């Protein structure tokens, strides 16, 4: 019987072999498939964080959120009570766009099935979309982060939260609005996943499929 960990590795190998977007496939050092949380072989993940795309450092190391933005995210997660190793992390795009440009709609569409399959496999209780590209993937092109982050959304039977990308928090500085919002949103995320499920210690099943 295939374990969750083995299924994740099988999916990740398929992601790493993808060459659907010729420009990205030619320019990348490697595909950044995503990371599973500690203990994933035994239970579904409680949290999935979804960003936009790998940057230069991520492209070099093959791991999402390891550059400056990732270091800030790690620190804020820890301060909120969610160690980085306790959450799953992925991006909408699995390859770095040249020059860190914004992903095109075609690239997002080409990569969509990978994130969909990751969500189905990880089966998170809560998803947090970080930044505009990730927010649009879940809620459509008209979404505004400032407004969307104030609400709790649903995605295929799961709780969906929206927040700013940590790169925006860096860009606007420690006293900027995105930094304060991201800190507050991560505390909210931690509070949600630490709430016990009524009547059981297990996570709920999610049967929805993306249309």
Q: In a 10 Å sphere around its CB, with 0-12 CB exposed, 13-18 middle and 19+ buried, how is residue 158 labelled?
A: middle
In terms of residue numbers, what domain contains 127?
A: 4-194
Q: Is the residue at 89 inside a domain?
A: yes
Q: What is the CATH number of the domain that holds 187?
A: 3.40.470.10
Q: Is the residue at 208 inside a domain?
A: no
Per-residue confidence (pLDDT) for residue 202, from 0 to 100: 37
Q: Is there a contact between 158 and 52 (Cβ–Cβ < 8 Å)? A: no
Cα end-to-end distance, the chain, whole Å: 28
Q: Is the residue at 122 inside a domain?
A: yes
Q: Is there a contact between 204 and 168 (Cβ–Cβ < 8 Å)? A: no
The CB-side HSE value for 196 (13 A sphere, CA atoms) comes to 4
Q: How many domains does the chain have?
A: 1
Q: Is the residue at 209 inside a domain?
A: no
Of 88, 10, 5, the residue nearest 41 (C-alpha): 5
Q: Is there a contact between 132 and 99 (Cβ–Cβ < 8 Å)? A: no
Greater pLDDT, 89 or 202: 89
Once rounded to an integer, what is the mean pLDDT over residues 152-177? Answer: 96
Name the band, by pLDDT with cuts 50, 70 and 90, for residue 41. low
65-87: pLDDT as tens digits = 999 999 999 999 999 999 999 99
Q: Is the residue at 201 inside a domain?
A: no
pLDDT mean across residues, the chain:
91
* 93-102, 109-118, 161-170, 195-204: least confident range: 195-204
Percent of the chain with pLDDT over 90: 84
Once rounded to an integer, what is the mean pLDDT over residues 144-173? Answer: 97
* Sign (positive or negative) of CA dihedral 16, 18, 23, 24: negative
């Amino acid at each position: 019987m295939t374990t969750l960990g083995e299924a994740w590795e099988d999916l990740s190998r398929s992601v790493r072999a993808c060459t659907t977007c010729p420009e990205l496939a030619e320019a990348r050092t490697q595909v950044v498939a995503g990371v599973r949380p500690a203990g994933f072989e035994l239970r579904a993940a409680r949290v999935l964080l979804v960003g936009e795309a790998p940057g230069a450092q991520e492209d070099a190391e093959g791991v999402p959120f390891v550059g400056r933005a990732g270091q800030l995210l790690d620190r804020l997660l820890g301060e909120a009570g969610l160690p980085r190793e306790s959450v799953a992390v992925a991006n909408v795009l699995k390859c770095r766009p040249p020059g860190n440009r914004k992903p095109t709609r075609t690239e997002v569409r080409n990569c969509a099935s990978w994130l969909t399959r990751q969500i189905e496999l990880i089966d998170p209780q809560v998803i947090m979309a970080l930044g505009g590209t990730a927010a649009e993937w879940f809620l459509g092109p008209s979404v505004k982060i400032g407004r969307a982050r104030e609400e709790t959304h649903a995605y295929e039977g799961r709780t969906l939260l929206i927040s700013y990308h940590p790169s925006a928090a860096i860009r606007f500085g420690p006293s900027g609005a995105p930094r304060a919002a991201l800190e507050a949103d991560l505390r909210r995320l931690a509070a949600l996943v630490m709430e016990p499920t009524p009547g059981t210690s297990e996570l709920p099943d999610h049967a929805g499929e993306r249309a």
